Amino acid sequence: EAMSFCLKKMAKDEANRGVMVQQKGIRLLSELYNLGASLMDASGGPDSKKGMWREDCAVALARIAISTNPQLYPQGSMLTMIRPLMWLFGDATHELHQFEAGLGLTNIASVDEDTRDTLVMHGAWSAATNLLAADNDQVKRVGVECLSNLVMCERSIMRLRESEIDIKLFI
């Protein structure tokens, strides 16, 4: 718990984020997130401390993803970030965290076709679409930005062709 809290505080300072990427901080945060998720699953329900541990890791990953170039991440790191960011994107306890996760996913979605395809397969399209109904204008904006990056992938185009609802929302 303390480690995830400290890493979140470190990621708050933009100057630390590049160093965190270089020193395998993404891997550590992803593993801590997965440990927190497995503890929550094993306990049979959400525990506030375990939930905060998980959220702290996801917030730190979101902050790293916002301001660092995802193409410079160590191999495989980008994929390990998707699950925590997707969880935070939909289930954050605070709108700021949801906004940060959206910005991070938007940045990651700017990398290449395969990354966008992976994001869409993990539900990023639906999650971003859900944000369009948020009360907060900033959260709505990040939903639109994320959809704008995701629409460049073939899987999204096929989805728009097949769903009248998605095309109406996007237009």
Dihedral sign, Cα of residue 40, residue 46, residue 52, residue 55: positive
User: What was the pLDDT predicted at 30?
Assistant: 93
Cα dist from 89 to 43, 66, 134, whole Å: 23, 13, 12
User: What was the pLDDT predicted at 17?
Assistant: 94
- Entry pTM: 0.85
State yes or no: pLDDT of 135 exceeds 70.
yes
Share of the chain above pLDDT 90, in %: 54
Name, in order, each residue with C-beta under 8 angstroms of 39's C-beta and a sequence gap of 6 or more.
47, 50
pLDDT band per the 50, 70, 90 thresholds, residue 44: very low
Residue with the bigger pLDDT between 83 and 49: it is 83
State yes or no: pLDDT of 164 exceeds 70.
no
- 84-102 pLDDT per residue, tens: 999 998 878 899 999 999 9
Average pLDDT of 126-146? 91
